[in-house]
Amino acid sequence: MIRLPRFRPGTACIAAMIACTAPAFAAEPRPAFTPPSAASLPDTEFGKIVRQGEQIFLHTPQKAGKFVGNDLTCASCHLDAGRRPDSAPMWAAYVLYPAYRAKNEHVNTLAERLQGCFRFSMNGKAPAADDPTLTALQSYMFWLASKAPTGVVLEGQGYRKLPAPAQKADYVRGSEVYAQYCAVCHGAEGQGQKNGKHWVFPALWGADSFNWGAGMHQIGNAAGFIKANMPLGQAGMLSDQEAWDVAYFMNAHERPQDPRYKDSVATTREKYHDSDDSLYGIEVNGHLLGSDAPPPGGKLLQTAAKPAG
């Protein structure tokens, strides 16, 4: 039996990049902003660090592997190297930190926000706040936001916020949308796609994907991202209802455990997922989501378990 959560306006998207800060700054109309082109990167010592940040962003497992437990990159969810509007672009995020986040109930610096990305979206571990990896990423974000107004919600910030679906999001309808539009790139089982050792399309669920603590596990975030950006190269093809349905289908599958897990799925849901936007701890097709989740850490956990020598 599928138990559908009820959708209520205003409960979605607290874990997307700076989405939870938007109400504090929201103003209409939102100003537009265009980040500088890659070709305009300065040939200076600062520019070298910015380039390092760009490469970490694009090739995260290769450039920051000691912090990454899956094969996703930052650009898996923040498209076009963090430039694309409605894909949580980095230029729009940079100007809104420090900020209070409901997810951890305190004011976060940008470094702490990025630490969370590594812990949840990358299913890995957080670099130290002063680690060169975070310095490079923040330098890249600062450069992308050059000349953007500080403390202003810009057009295209975060993920698109869709109106509540006309019909409750549906697993079966979502599976049909997925088979028609998504499986060719992401695989019939959501496993992603490689070209040799290089990942071309990320895993959407399973052991190689983001864990239950990541913002993309929330149906509203996923639906907004899908509507604005997918299918790749054909953005806007899906209706709002199709985006909600396929987001539900994607997130109605098991993925690595929330690293904040404590005691039980029920306890963890009550503390961290008590929202109509999360399927963690909800029974879908006879399976309690989160009850059979692989442990968090992915490849980092596997590496740590290998005997020395």
What distance in Å separates the CA atoms of residue 269 and residue 227, rounded to the nearest whole number? 27
What distance in Å separates the CA atoms of residue 302 and residue 65, rounded to the nearest whole number? 13
Whether residues 200 and 128 fall in one domain = no
Q: Residue 198's pLDDT band (boundaries 50, 70, 90)?
A: confident
Strand 106-108 with 193-195, pairing: unpaired
Q: Which residue has the tokens 């409901």?
A: 102
- pLDDT for 22 beyond 50: no
Q: Give residue 10's identity as a one-letter amino acid code.
A: G
Per-residue pLDDT at 309: 58
Whether residues 121 and 183 fall in one domain = no
Specify the long-range contacts of residues 95-99, CB closer than 8 Å, at least 24 apart: 95/145, 95/148, 95/149, 95/150, 95/151, 95/152, 95/154, 96/18, 96/21, 96/25, 96/151, 96/153, 96/157, 97/18, 97/21, 99/18, 99/20, 99/21, 99/24
One-letter-per-residue 3-state SS of 24-36: HHCCCCCCCCCCC
Does residue 253 lie in a domain region? Answer: yes
Whether residues 72 and 116 fall in one domain = yes
Q: Residue 203's pLDDT band (boundaries 50, 70, 90)?
A: very high
Whether residues 290 and 175 fall in one domain = yes
**What is the SS3 assignment for 118?**
helix
Per-residue pLDDT at 12: 37
Q: pTM higher than 0.85 for the full model?
A: yes
Per-residue pLDDT at 199: 87
**What is the SS3 assignment for 18?**
coil
Per-residue pLDDT at 3: 46
Q: Residue 302's pLDDT band (boundaries 50, 70, 90)?
A: confident
Q: What is the mean pLDDT of the chain?
A: 91
CATH classification at residue 278: 1.10.760.10
Whether residues 135 and 176 fall in one domain = no
Of 51-65, 134-148, 153-167, 196-210, least confident by mean pLDDT is: 196-210
Which of the two residues, 24 and 226, has the higher pLDDT score? Answer: 226
Whether residues 184 and 140 fall in one domain = no
What percent of the chain has pLDDT above 70?
Answer: 90
Per-residue pLDDT at 195: 87
Per-residue pLDDT at 143: 98
Does residue 139 lie in a domain region? Answer: yes
What distance in Å separates the CA atoms of residue 50 and residue 48, rounded to the nearest whole number? 5
Total domains present in the chain: 2
Whether residues 179 and 119 fall in one domain = no
Q: What residues make up the domain containing 133? A: 43-145
Does residue 103 lie in a domain region? Answer: yes
Does residue 21 lie in a domain region? Answer: no
- pLDDT for 2 beyond 60: no
Per-residue pLDDT at 40: 95
Whether residues 177 and 139 fall in one domain = no
Specify the long-range contacts of residues 202-205, CB closer than 8 Å, at least 24 apart: 202/71, 202/72, 202/73, 202/76, 203/70, 203/71, 203/72, 204/250, 204/253, 205/250, 205/251, 205/253, 205/254, 205/255
Per-residue pLDDT at 83: 98
